[in-house]
Chain A
Amino acid sequence: MFEYVESAPEEALVSRSARGDEQAFGVLVERYKGMLYSMAYRLMKDRGRAEDAAQESFIKAWAALPGFKGESKFSSWMYRICYNTCISELRKKRPEVELDEAMGVGVEGPAEEFRNRDIQAVIHDEVSRLPDDYRAALTLFHFNGLSYDEIARLAHKPMGTVKAQIHRGRALLKARLLERVGWDNLKEVMWQ
C-alpha cells in the first residue's frame, strides 16, 4: 500500500480523503490536530471538552469532505467546523468548569524574581477569564491568524463588532496585567 509522507501536498490529501481514503485523512489529522485542539481548548477552557470538540470536528469534516469545493483554504474550512462545534458546545447548559491548573497562575504580591514567562502566564490566565465572545475573537485573530473579515463571516457578526471585541479584549488584558502584577514588577522585566 502507498505510504503517505508528512510532506504530501495538502490538495492531494484533501481530494483523496474526500474519496474515502482514510490513510490520507490520517495525515491531515496529524497535521491539524494540534491547531484544532489548541483552538478548542482556548475557546472552551477544558481539556476533556476540547479533545471531544476537536475529535467531533474531524469526524464532521470527514463526512463533509465530499462537499468541500476548495473555495476557501482547507485550514479555514477546518477552523470553521471547529469553531461551530465549540460554540454550539459552549451554548449547551453546563456546570461552570474549574479553570485548568495550566491556565491558572498565582501572583501573590510583589515577586522576588518576576520573569517574562510569568507575564505571559498572567496574560494567558486573564484570557481564560474574558467573556466567551472576546476570547473567541482574540483566539481566531491571534492564534488562528484569521483576518477581521474572516472572523466576521465565521461568527456571523458585523466586522465592526469583531474589531471592537478584539480591541476591548486586549484593553481588558492590559488593565488586568497591570492590576495583578504592578508596574514596578513589570518594568523591571520589560525594560531590563
Chain B
Amino acid sequence: MNCDEVRRSVQDYVTRELAPDDRRRFDAHLVECAECQRELALMTAVVSTLDHQPVLEPSADFSSRVLGSLSRQREFAPSPWWSLALAPLLAGAAWLARGPVERALETISSRPGLIHLSVPAVSLQQAGIAAGAIVVLGLLVAAGGAVFCWQTYLRD
C-alpha cells in the first residue's frame, strides 16, 4: 500500500472492516511512514470518541410525564363499555323528554301561519317499548365492542 491507499482505508482499518490481506499491507506501510501513523492516531481518536458517547439522562420527571400523557389518552379514549352505561341513560332521557317534547311541538303547531304539525299521542306502553329498544341497541353495541376488544387483547 502507498500513502493514498492507506488514507483511503484508514477508517475501515480502525473499525475493523478491512479484509485481512489489506490489513497486513496496511500494517506493513505503517511501520515505515510517520505521516500515515499520524492519520491513524487521529482517526482512532475520532472513532473511539464516537463509539463511546455517553448515554445522557433526560430530566427527572421524564418518565412520569410520558406515563401521564398515556393516562390522559386513555381517559379520553372511547371505550365500548361506556355504551353499557349509556344505554339505560338514553332510555331514561327519552322517557323524561317525552312530555316536554310533546308540549313544545303542540305550542309550535298551534302558532298561526306555521305548517300544522300533528303530534301523535304517545302512550306509556309505546314509550316503554322505545326505551327497551334503546337499551337492547346499547347492549348490542357494547357486546360488539367488547368482542373486538378481547380479540385485540388476546392477539399475540
CB distance from B56 to the nearest CB of A (A): 4
Residue contacts A-B, CB under 8 angstroms, 23 given:
A22-B71, A26-B67, A33-B62, A33-B63, A34-B57, A37-B57, A37-B58, A37-B62, A38-B55, A51-B59, A55-B65, A59-B73, A62-B73, A63-B73, A123-B45, A123-B46, A142-B51, A167-B11, A170-B47, A170-B50, A178-B42, A186-B45, A191-B41
Cα distance A138–B55 in the bound complex, in angstroms:
15
Contact of B66 among A55, A120, A124, A171 (CB under 8 A): A55
- In this assembly, does B125 line the interface, its C-beta being within 8 Å of a C-beta of chain A? no
- In this assembly, does B141 line the interface, its C-beta being within 8 Å of a C-beta of chain A? no
Cα distance A178–B41 in the bound complex, in angstroms:
11
Interface residue tally for chain B (C-beta within 8 Å): 33
- The secondary structure that dominates the A interface is helix
* A33-B70 contact, Cβ under 8 Å, with A119-B49, A170-B43, A170-B46: no
A123 close to B49 (CB less than 8 A): yes
- B residues adjacent to A (C-beta < 8 A): 11, 38-39, 41-43, 45-47, 49-51, 53-59, 62-63, 65-67, 69-71, 73-74, 152-153, 155-156
CB distance from B9 to the nearest CB of A (A): 11
* A29-B53 contact, Cβ under 8 Å, with A51-B58, A170-B11, A174-B46: no
- A residues adjacent to B (C-beta < 8 A): 15, 19-20, 22, 25-26, 29-30, 33-35, 37-38, 41-42, 50-51, 54-55, 58-59, 62-63, 66, 119-120, 123-124, 127, 138, 142-143, 167, 170-171, 173-174, 177-178, 183, 186-187, 190-191
CB distance from A148 to the nearest CB of B (A): 10
B63 close to A37 (CB less than 8 A): no
Q: Return the 6 tightest CB-CB contacts between A and B, nearest first.
A: A142-B50, A37-B58, A34-B55, A123-B49, A38-B56, A120-B49
CB distance from B41 to the nearest CB of A (A): 5
- With CB as the reference atom, state the residue of chain A lying closest to B58: A37
B51 close to A174 (CB less than 8 A): no
Identify 16 new A-B residue pairs, CB closer than 8 A, beyond the known A25-B67, A171-B11: A34-B56, A38-B56, A51-B58, A55-B65, A62-B70, A119-B45, A123-B46, A124-B53, A127-B50, A142-B47, A142-B51, A142-B53, A167-B11, A183-B38, A186-B41, A190-B45
- With CB as the reference atom, state the residue of chain A lying closest to B14: A170
B67 close to A29 (CB less than 8 A): yes
Contact of B42 among A58, A124, A177 (CB under 8 A): A177
How many A-B pairs have beta carbons closer than 8 Å: the answer is: 100
CB-defined contacts of B47 to chain A, threshold 8 Å: 142, 170
B69 close to A174 (CB less than 8 A): no
CB-defined contacts of B69 to chain A, threshold 8 Å: 55, 59
* A25-B50 contact, Cβ under 8 Å, with A33-B63, A174-B43: no
- With CB as the reference atom, state the residue of chain B lying closest to A138: B50
Cα distance A58–B69 in the bound complex, in angstroms:
10
- With CB as the reference atom, state the residue of chain A lying closest to B54: A38
CB-defined contacts of B11 to chain A, threshold 8 Å: 167, 170-171
CB distance from B100 to the nearest CB of A (A): 42
CB distance from B156 to the nearest CB of A (A): 6
